[in-house]
Structure 1
Amino acid sequence: MKISEIIKKLNQWAPPAYQESYDNATLIVGNDKADLTSALITLDCTEMIVQEAIDSGANLIIAHHPIVFKGLKSITGKNYVERTVLKAIKNDIAIFAIHTNLDNIDTGVSKKIADIIGLENTKILAPKKELLTKLVTFIPIENKDEVLQSIFKAGAGQIGNYDQCSFQLNGTGTFRANDNANPFVGNKGELQREPETRIEVIFPSFLQNKIVTALKKSHPYEEVAYYLTDLQNENQEVGSGIVGELSKEVSTIEFLKLLKERFNLEIIRHTHIHVDKIKKVALCGGAGSFLLSKARAQGADIFITGDFKYHEFFDTEDQIIIADIGHYESEAFTKDLIYDFLKENFPNIALNLSKLNTNPIKYF
């Protein structure tokens, strides 16, 4: 199996188009055409992780956090980033990062946290806008099912838990072919009136080329009439954080104890406990303080994330409890998330979870 096959499947799961603008979720080092020996899955990629890959015989490191965020103008080994990259290159080890694109899908990092806590009725806390496009096209009535199935297969028509979604309206299309045309119906130089179905479907914008290609290949007309419209709609399946509910209320103190147990925490930084019971929970893996207002607006009793700054703790206004469990701690199970996905899709490849704790923060 080629490394590219692993990367392709991961990108289908968490499309790179869903990563944040500052991110670098991609193949950072290595040749994706190389045969895979085994893969090492980690939260961070460091020199020690590369050594772990060497020792285990892995030639692919799959990391959540990219080792390279910004462009490198030189690679001389003057810092840990350059030393890690150099060590990987010298040992023919590829480094692939799957970061905020994995954060932003509804089966990603935050959903994994929600599952560990036991949340039900979960949904994206802050859905993203401007990620959807609408296709409108016109198809001869007798050909519409064939064309529709082609664009559905390419990824159009998926809305939440429903697929093959479309709007259809029958009408009459008119056209006149010139001498250079090769019309599917009608005669050159004569006005043709053809019963057609107007089809409207929605699809993720990053699939536009694939959808249009499928449309043109399956449509019987020599010239296909269609138009595309970028939508302002929120994509309920893509965005930051998760909000959900516990099956029953629990005391706030017991819930904090549950967090410490489930996430193996040494400490929780939290705001004033102004409510006795917890029912609705908002959360975000990693650094999620930017979502506090969203969590408050959803009526969550508590917001779980990492990396809150001192003054941000005042922003609760005693309307919600902040539970800062730490950046690393909130994402520690991301390794398991990636491992389980790959094992389900590639049961016969060699996968290893890193045994190293890469958390740079220690507690005394």
Structure 2
Amino acid sequence: MNERGHVNILIAGRSGVGKSTLINSVFDGDFVRTGVGKPVTQGTREIRKEGIPLSIFDTRGLEMANYKESDEQLRKFIADRRLSTDPKTHIHLAWICIAEDLRRVEDAEQDLVSRLIDYVPVVGVITKSRADQGFRQKVHDLLPKLTNVIRVRALREEFDDGHVLEPMGLKELVEHSMQLVPEAHRRAFAAAQKVDLDMKTSQAHQAVAAASVTAGGIAAVPIPFADAAAIIPVQITMIAGITAIYGLPVTEGFLSSLVVSVLGGAGGAFLGRTIVSGLLKLIPGAGSVAGGAIGAATAGLITVALGEAYIAAIYSLLAKNAGKAPSEQEIADAFKKEFVAAITMRGKR
């Protein structure tokens, strides 16, 4: 959980532009309504929620008569955080929200962007988008140093005449923001957002690949049976990492029992090969080399099968439940089913 990092996003805009709606549409946990907020500067508060690796810095000072003073306090706050030795405290990204129906960019918004761009990448977000009519280009022209200007509509809208406007632009906003967030905090951003399930899955595949290499390296060491005790924690950590990437709240005990039960049942055939490789390592010379090679291949194979089965299980459950977190029992049942299918297919090969 610690290694996935923590991402901090500043979201600025006048009252009524739809910041809260946007935040709750993009991030898990009904973030604004249920999160805990505290003031950090005049007109700015930090919102956090337990279990979600995200802090939202909500700036509300653009309506104030002395907004320039508020902007200067905010600039200093971000500059001071940037000097911190802990990158988890840095402000990693800023969204400047401008409502499309207002059709104008205020001096306060231009001043704020000019103060922020030296410290953090800034994205222009046009909210409540219904009809562009050249407004996006106008924002580009007035705020040329924005990394991009993205039109979004956070909620589905249905009009009296039956005309419907579906949500739009959220995935584009998430994908663009992901590229701007520092590498060390991308897992945190992927975990916190709920718009793009494939983004979470891409990060999860990377976790599986890394764990497979680690497990294979441990198994290749020519010491009889020493690898088994070391590989299981690698696999449990991999499952925990995938869980963190998907932003699911499951316990350490559950993750451990999940891996052990799956390996002890459906993984019996692969464990048999691990025992054989351990016995081969007892034979001096060539036997230890052969045992190490078999063990490395088997360890990598089991680790990949476990990881990919877990990803498939989580992905299917989240897709089926429209992003709602599944129960531990649902996860366990789906995981075992996917792992049995994976090793059966590999066994036929």
TM over 0.5: no
Q: Answer 1 or 2: higher relative contact order, Cα 8 Å, separation at least 6.
A: 1
Structure with the higher strand share, 1 or 2: 1
TM-score (norm 2): 0.28
TM-score (norm 1): 0.28
